[in-house]
Structure 1
């Protein structure tokens, strides 16, 4: 995955990244909430040895340097903790108290820094003060020889009394938040990449190109107002959806220059892809150019063309096929666009058999001669065989795919069914595309139709032409 692909994944999956950051910060917040705030108090003790001459001074320095670490361990010992507990009458064990005491030798010195942590800042200072007192007394005690006059050879003096620090040292809220954001970002990126790798839905033109050589004819952006304004006649001339169908109309002209398509089947792989509205608006867009256009509602199971155009669906294809009405009487006109409409008619018990009948084939042939373009709204390819049957009567098929919902497996199976009956796929229309992803389908047109750049003529070539 290169940088461009990575950025595309992040653009598509940014919600996953944000979600993981929010979760990580929430976990950090919970961890901060359940922890008891800890405060520190620090004190310093200076160690010294009596010496009588310069030679003894060097010996004393070496002596203290060797034993300073041992003195620091004594400050953290259970014995010293017991003395502090007795002195302050604390309600905790020596092990618990010693775990809150930390003593370190400051590098290059004979200073020992004692740090005490507690849930109360004042209590931490009180305990640190008592620890240093007991520590100095204990050092004097253990360093006093039994055969001497009771004078310790090592002296421990408090140079920095126990400090009072009102700011908590643990948990570190800023550090927790920064670390949680970093962890959440890393997990979010990993989740986004994993979701993208596992995502089998159609999201880019490359996804379509991996499945078929047929071009992406248009990408129609998701429009939240489609329920209130489903038709192009309900929109302004510069609406995004209007422009998308103009592009579809234009691209259809260049599919096959040798054999002009007169009959087109509009279908999808599965229901819910928006193929009826796509076929209807394509027919409206073609009719707006002054052509004679007929749309046939051949989805005999779930007919929606006539109702979408505000026409009567009761009289149409099936009533004409059985001879109850003449085909000219069954065709209605959508006045705002001038589009001719052949509704589905009464629902039959055997739609596939009706579409396979010779009388249906003859009817399509007659209508082909009567109109510049005939659009057939067919059922989805995967649930039933109707669309496969109709594809054999048409010049080509337009497959409608729903962005981010139709899977590659569904498209692949739909293309297989078309291939089995010899249906010709003219192209793909990607429907309900998120606005942030609409550009991911455009490159297909530009790369296919971009003119070859002209080389600038040199001076000699210009003279030769003259």
Structure 2
């Protein structure tokens, strides 16, 4: 979730709370406490006495007992406890002045309650300070109103502007905090640097996310200048520089886990190779969840397994995709033991035979982590390309997949990052363009950085 989204949520919550609360208005009044003395020598002592008393009387103003008196005088419906909660009093620093603040649902009620509270408080003080509690006597403390109850037509709560500003600041802080936390805790592949942390093999291509992938899955369904077409042209070109001394003729395309788009990648790479006139074969070796034939609109029933068990000759099992000229060996019938079939010598011999008959053989293999099939096939090919899904495949998954390839001695040619968000597509270009020079290790000094995207057409 972006920082902007979090800010908007915070503002929305604040606005909802603010505009559903009852507006409150306030009225203020002020009382001065003094001691009646005739001898000026006692004036200073009397001032100290009144100041000390002020703190105590500020508490009395907020008492339930005084609120009960005001409630009865004004015939208010609310309880004395609720009324007392809306009354506040504080002593002005270094004085014997008490400022009383009363809140109510409308400004006129606030003024009326403040006025009555002040007058009843003066009477209350007179009773408390009369010697011996004699109400007919003379009170030692004199309370006088210095400021009458004010009338303020503007609501004091909720403070709409303040609440929204505070909510915005909280949203910003939360957004930044979550962004930092996500950056620290996120273990998914998001940039070329993340790939570089796991392997020295290059990022061969980054393929952007395409909403039209379901309706137009193949390069033959797209225009010549579509972004996805350009990405596979780049992948096709970069394959030429993987190993100049020993050009690969058989590649396994796999992924760490399901759902990374490895079948679509292997199929379109094979189509891109066939479009250049190269004699290209794609083998659907995912015997558990075969999809190559259905993606190309061909018959999946006859293929690899039917040829292996001798139900059909291999040349009869291979179909041709008319739009591209690609040769396709579908998976055939699903066997109960896919791994054992792929490990068999007859499968090994068949792949050796096919690679000698084609310029390029692409093998679509199952994911590496769930099953061992891809590791078995990797030993039969020149090398492996791993497809990872941007912001979905984790570093741990890719690292484990690479470890499995290393364990069987397979060669990892590179990584294809699939379904890359448009805003992140540029984060991969510099790396794979830098890393795919004829030396196979990259040339950082050339003009490969100049065009920004790093795209080249075959």
TM over 0.5: yes
* Matched residue, 2:289: 302
Counterpart for residue 432 of structure 2: 445
Corresponding residue number in structure 2 for 1:101: 87
Look up the match of 2:453.
none
Inter-partner Cα distance in structure 2 for 1:301 and 1:130: 86
CA distance in 2, matches of 1:440, 1:169: 51
Gapped runs of 5+ residues in structure 2? Answer: 436-441, 448-458
- Distance in 1 separating the partners of 2:227 and 2:58: 76
Q: Please name the residue that 2:362 is paired with.
A: 375
Give the superposition deviation at 1:281. 0.5
Query: Cα gap change, 1:430/1:141 in structure 2, threshold over 3 Å: closer, same or farther?
Result: same
1:277 and 1:77 mapped to 2: Cα distance?
77
Separation of aligned partners in 1, 2:72 and 2:388: 80
SS of equivalent to 2:425: helix
Distance 2:131 2:329 in 1: 117
Q: Which residue of 2 aligns with 1:132?
A: 118
**Alignment partner of 1:199 out of 177, 181, 186:** 186
Change (3 A) 1:47 1:317: closer
In 2, the alpha carbon distance for the partners of 1:348 and 1:79 equals 88
**What residue in structure 1 maps to residue 337 of structure 2?**
350
Superposed displacement of residue 282, structure 1? 0.5
Instruction: Name the stretch that deviates more: 268-277 or 90-99.
Output: 90-99
Of 314, 327, 338, 1:327 maps to 314
Q: State the partner residue of 1:43.
A: 29
Distance 1:302 1:130, change over 3 A: closer
1:4 alignment counterpart: none
CA RMSD in angstroms, aligned pairs only: 3.5
From 239, 260, 269, the counterpart of 1:252: 239
Q: CA deviation at 1:153?
A: 8.7
Structure 1 residues 65 and 370, CA gap change in structure 2 (3 angstroms): same
Q: CA deviation at 1:196?
A: 4.0
Partner deviation per Cα, 1:145-184 (whole Å, 9 max, x = no partner): 899x988897655443222223332333333333233333
TM superposition shift of 1:423: 1.0
The Cα shift of 1:76 comes to 4.3
Matched residue, 2:108: 122
In the alignment, the residues of structure 2 paired with residue 324 and residue 150 of structure 1 have an alpha-carbon distance, to the nearest angstrom, of 123
Tell me how far 1:94 sits from its aligned partner. Answer: 5.7
Aligned match for 1:178, one of 165, 168, 172? 165
Distance 1:96 1:280, change over 3 A: closer
CA distance in structure 1 between the aligned counterparts of 2:402 and 2:27, rounded to whole angstroms: 75
Match of 1:399 among 372, 377, 386: 386
| Structure 1 residues 278-323: Cα deviation after superposition (integer angstroms, max 9, x where no partner) | 0010011112222221112222232221221122223332333344
Going from structure 1 to structure 2, the CA distance change for 1:68 and 1:335 (only over 3 Å counts) comes to same
Call closer, same or farther: CA 1:293–1:140 in 2, change over 3 Å: same
TM normalised by structure 1 equals 0.81
The answer to whether structure 1 residue 222 and structure 2 residue 209 are counterparts is yes
Distance 1:193 1:65 in 2: 53
3-state SS of 2:230 partner: helix
**Residue equivalent to 2:375:** 388
Q: Cα distance, 1:379 vs. partner? A: 1.8
Query: Could you say if the C-alpha distance between residues 102 and 378 of structure 1 is closer, same or farther in structure 2, counting changes exceeding 3 Å?
Result: closer
Matched residues in 1 for 2:91 and 2:38: separation? 26
Question: Which is worse superposed, 152-161 or 301-310?
Answer: 152-161
Unaligned segments of structure 1, at least 5 residues: 1-12, 455-466
